[in-house]
């Protein structure tokens, strides 16, 4: 293995010296060189913030190395990263080459260099194709659009850390990138895949065009970036996460996915605009980042409770995209909130990291779920980009607020038929979004039923002190992308969106009606929403016979949040409110109309009016992979034509 190392990693030592000392010993000698290289870099940093980026990235690199196949000589396996959640090798694991090389450069430890070379070699042996492409997976998906992302990762690895490689390896990688760029040149147009592919291809063409000195590629970068500008709404949303890209629904909505936009498209476009010094694109990205930032929760999570592709929603972002950090951190000079957003999201990801791997949501670890390693190797790239390219200038100012820190009342976003409320300590999302996403790209996905919620659902409720209280999941959990989602194990799991439902197993619910009418009102320190629609199943069919209609009111004030539910018919009618609660949060039910959930910051008290009563709360927590929470499901039997009001209050600890 030592023969794979490049000996000028260790200046002043001969090859014989390095072999005699062992690489680890030589690496320790090399540290001062790396330290001085970092000190001389233009990214002069303020300590704690940069340290969190670096420490998290190193932790992830160590986690990936612990899952790298090393003990099996078979070249079809050796060097790949084995996923503990999926029990397979994700074909894209070679993207780890970039963060692993960052770690090698940062620490001087040869184990990271060896890991980077090994995972890259595996990639070339298995998922590389003669036409210059890389495919998504060994067997589950032969999608070649993914070439965009490995091209960017390999380009960034070479550009920032190519000095760690010997000349032959650098030449080999450069030639491979040239073949990839020429494949993409014939493969990518603005219509290829969802919008994140052509948008990120602009960055792939720019990086390779500059590296190879090929103006044609640079022009392709410019062309795609400017075509992408036509897919921003006047309000600042990037549309096109769904087909057709320019689709407009009955409610006038466009296909938008928060996760893909903030973690893939906008960061790539920000990097494109920065390197190309393209002011037009930069201005569009700045506006879009500000709009998308409206959906960041105070804990750094992304509220994608409504997005077209939220089957991959994880509390911190999206399962297989790269991470929001480059977009927000690279353009932070324009808006100090951007740097804060990148940092809070990093803190959220760090909190979801255990044993060096990023788990798919806050409660995956507690629920005994394994982490899909895909999250780690893609999000590691985003942190490496920030550490290589962003500035962390020290500032004496306090950390700035992000939009949802402020109790601003109500904001409405017609492009996605979604409203946000911020009243007192409550942050809420109500959605009637009616874009239906159908997956055409990946093989194996069922593509039938199961998507983002609609119907005027209360798709998110967050309390400033108590944290997340309610959240949407998919209407029904489905594997839309078979190699990019996890499967529910044994144990309780259910849809988490608060809802009214009827019929056997609650098949007909208030989250499926795309035609539901949602209205919003707000006054002094209060907000109110009304949703009127039909109880439908995931195929958007009503029960046979009478079509039951519902009316839901959400009333939010400083002191409480109320859900008032009224249904005009249907059998086995229920109000189902799964309240987020870890197994370690005690759930008390002192009487039939009261439930108390004991959180670290205080108590969430939930009460019912009139004759309504909670069913006994199950001792076992339920769980949903999207977006990764445990919950205590509260169930209330409803009587037709009788309004039932559920009231939530936060009782905080003194001091």
Residues forming the site for Zn ion (CB under 5 A): 83, 85-86, 372, 374
Q: In whole angstroms, what is the distance from residue 466 CA to residue 468 CA?
A: 7
Q: In whole angstroms, how far apart are CA 516 and each of 1, 375, 430, 529, 573?
A: 63, 35, 12, 13, 19
In the complex, least distance from residue 370 CB atom to Zn ion, rounded to whole angstroms: 8
To the nearest 10 degrees (0 to 180), the angle between helices 373-389 and 336-351 is 150
Comparing CB distances to Zn ion, the nearer of 310 and 378 is 378
Query: What secondary structure does DSSP assign to 379-439, as a single string?
Result: HHHHHHHHHHH--B----SPPPP-GGGS--EEEEEGGGTEEEEEETTEEEEEE---PPP--
How far CA 303 is from CA of 351, 377, 549, 622, in Å, comes to 17, 22, 28, 21
Minimum CB distance to Zn ion smaller for 81 or for 390? 81
For the CB of residue 373, give the shortest distance to Zn ion in the complex, in Å.
6
Nearer to Zn ion by Cβ, of 85 and 181: the residue is 85
Q: Which of 374, 582 has the CB closer to Zn ion?
A: 374
Cβ count near 39 (within 10 Å)? 8
Given the complex with Zn ion, which of 305 and 378 has the nearer CB atom? 378
Collapse the DSSP code of 635 into the 3-class scheme (helix H, G, I; strand E, B; otherwise coil) and give the result: strand
**Minimal distance in Å, beta carbon 34 to Zn ion?**
32
Secondary structure letter of residue 232 according to DSSP: B
**Cis peptide leading into residue 244 (ω within 30°):** yes
Sole residue written with tokens 């770690």: 103
Q: How many residues can be counted in the chain?
A: 655
User: What are the structure tokens assigned to 323, written together?
Assistant: 């991470």
Residue pair 396/378 in contact by the 8 Å Cβ criterion: no
Residue with tokens 């009342």: 409
Please identify, using beta-carbon distances, which residue of 136 and 464 lies nearer to Zn ion.
136
Closer to Zn ion at the Cβ: 360 or 409? 360
The residue among 295 and 359 lying less far from Zn ion, judged by its C-beta, is 359
CB of 477 to Zn ion, least distance (A): 16
> For Zn ion, which is the closer residue by CB, 360 or 468?
360
How far apart are alpha carbons 593 and 606 in whole angstroms? 8
The minimum distance between CB 483 and Zn ion, in angstroms, equals 8
Q: Which is nearer to Zn ion, 83 or 164 (CB)?
A: 83
Q: How far apart are CA 333 and CA 322, in angstroms?
A: 22
At its nearest, how many Å lie between Zn ion and the CB of residue 476?
Answer: 22
Q: Are 592 and 613 in contact (CB under 8 A)?
A: yes
CB of 141 to Zn ion, least distance (A): 13
| Omega prior to 472 cis, within 30 of 0 | no
Q: 134 and 95 in contact (C-beta within 8 Å)?
A: no
Question: Rounded to the nearest whole angstrom, what is the least distance from the CB of residue 5 to Zn ion in the complex?
Answer: 30
**What distance in Å separates the CA atoms of residue 510 and residue 575, rounded to the nearest whole number?**
10
Closest contact distance (angstroms) between CB of 72 and Zn ion is 19
- List Cβ neighbours of 364 (8 Å cut-off, separation of 6 or more): 352, 370, 371, 625, 628
Residue with tokens 């990097």: 271
Q: Which is nearer to Zn ion, 315 or 392 (CB)?
A: 315
CB nearer to Zn ion: pick between 86 and 284: 86
Sheet holding 467-471, edge to edge: 409-413, 418-423, 426-431, 457-463, 467-471
- CB of residue 194 vs Zn ion: minimum separation in angstroms? 20
Which helix (H) or strand (E) element contains residue 502? strand 499-502
Minimum Å gap between C-beta 375 and Zn ion is: 8
CB 90, min distance to Zn ion, A: 6
């Amino acid at each position: 293995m030592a023969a794979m190392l490049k000996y000028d990693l260790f200046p002043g030592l001969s090859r014989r010296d390095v072999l005699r000392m062992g690489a680890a010993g030589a690496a320790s000698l090399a540290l001062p060189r790396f330290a001085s290289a970092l000190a001389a870099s233009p990214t002069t940093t303020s300590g704690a913030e940069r340290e969190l980026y670096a420490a998290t990235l190193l932790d992830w690199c160590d986690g990936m190395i612990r899952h790298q196949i090393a003990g099996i000589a078979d070249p079809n396996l050796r060097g790949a990263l084995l996923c503990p959640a999926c029990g397979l090798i994700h074909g894209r694991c070679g993207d780890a080459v970039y963060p692993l090389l960052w770690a090698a450069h940062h620490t001087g430890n040869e184990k990271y260099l060896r890991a980077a070379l090994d995972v890259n070699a595996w990639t070339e042996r298995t998922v590389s194709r003669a036409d210059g492409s890389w495919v998504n997976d060994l067997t589950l998906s032969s999608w070649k659009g993914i070439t965009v992302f490995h091209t960017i990762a390999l380009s960034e690895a070479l550009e920032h850390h190519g000095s760690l490689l010997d000349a032959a390896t650098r030449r080999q990688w450069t030639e491979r990138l040239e073949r990839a760029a020429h494949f993409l040149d014939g493969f990518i147009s603005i219509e290829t895949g969802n919008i994140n592919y052509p948008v990120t291809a602009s960055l792939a063409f720019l990086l390779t065009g500059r590296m190879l000195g090929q103006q044609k590629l640079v022009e392709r970068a410019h062309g795609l970036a400017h075509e992408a500008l036509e897919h921003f709404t006047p309000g600042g949303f990037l549309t096109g996460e769904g087909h057709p890209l320019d689709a407009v629904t009955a409610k006038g909505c466009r296909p938008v996915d928060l996760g893909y936009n903030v973690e893939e498209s906008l960061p790539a476009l920000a990097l494109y605009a920065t390197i190309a010094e393209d002011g037009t694109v930069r201005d569009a990205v700045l506006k879009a980042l500000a709009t998308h930032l409206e959906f960041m929760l105070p804990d750094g999570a992304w509220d994608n409770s409504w997005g077209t592709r939220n089957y991959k929603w994880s509390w911190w972002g999206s399962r297989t995209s790269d991470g929001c950090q480059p977009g927000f951190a690279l353009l932070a000079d324009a808006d100090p909130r951007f740097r804060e957003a990148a940092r809070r999201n990093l803190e959220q990801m760090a909190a979801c990291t255990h044993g060096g791997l990023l788990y798919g949501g806050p409660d995956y670890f507690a629920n005994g779920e394994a982490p899909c390693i895909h999250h780690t190797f893609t999000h590691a790239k985003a942190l490496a980009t920030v550490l290589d390219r962003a500035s962390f200038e020290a500032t004496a100012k306090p950390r700035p607020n992000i939009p949802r820190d402020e109790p601003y009342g109500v904001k409405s976003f017609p492009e996605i038929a979604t409203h946000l409320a911020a009243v007192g300590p409550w942050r809420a999302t109500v959605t009637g979004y009616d874009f239906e996403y159908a997956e055409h790209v990946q093989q194996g996905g069922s593509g039938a039923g199961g998507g983002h919620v609609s119907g005027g659902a209360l798709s998110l409720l967050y309390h400033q002190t108590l944290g997340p209280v309610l959240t949407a999941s998919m209407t029904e959990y489905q594997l839309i992308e078979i190699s990019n989602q996890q499967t529910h194990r044994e144990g309780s799991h259910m849809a988490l969106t608060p809802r009214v439902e009827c019929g056997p197993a609650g098949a007909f619910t208030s989250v499926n009606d795309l035609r539901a009418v949602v209205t919003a009102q707000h006054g002094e320190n209060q907000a109110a929403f009304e949703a009127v629609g039909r109880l439908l199943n995931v195929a958007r069919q009503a029960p046979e016979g009478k079509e039951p209609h519902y009316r839901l009111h959400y009333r939010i004030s400083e002191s409480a949040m109320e859900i008032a539910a009224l249904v005009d018919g249907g059998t086995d009618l229920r109000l189902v409110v799964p309240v987020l609660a870890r197994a370690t949060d005690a759930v008390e039910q002192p009487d039939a109309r009261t439930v108390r959930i004991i959180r670290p910051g205080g108590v969430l008290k939930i009460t019912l009016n009139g004759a309504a009563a909670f069913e006994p709360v199950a001792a076992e927590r339920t769980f949903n992979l999207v977006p990764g929470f445990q919950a205590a499901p509260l169930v209330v039997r409803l009587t037709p034509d009788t309004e039932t009001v559920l009231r939530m209050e936060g009782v905080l600890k003194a001091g």
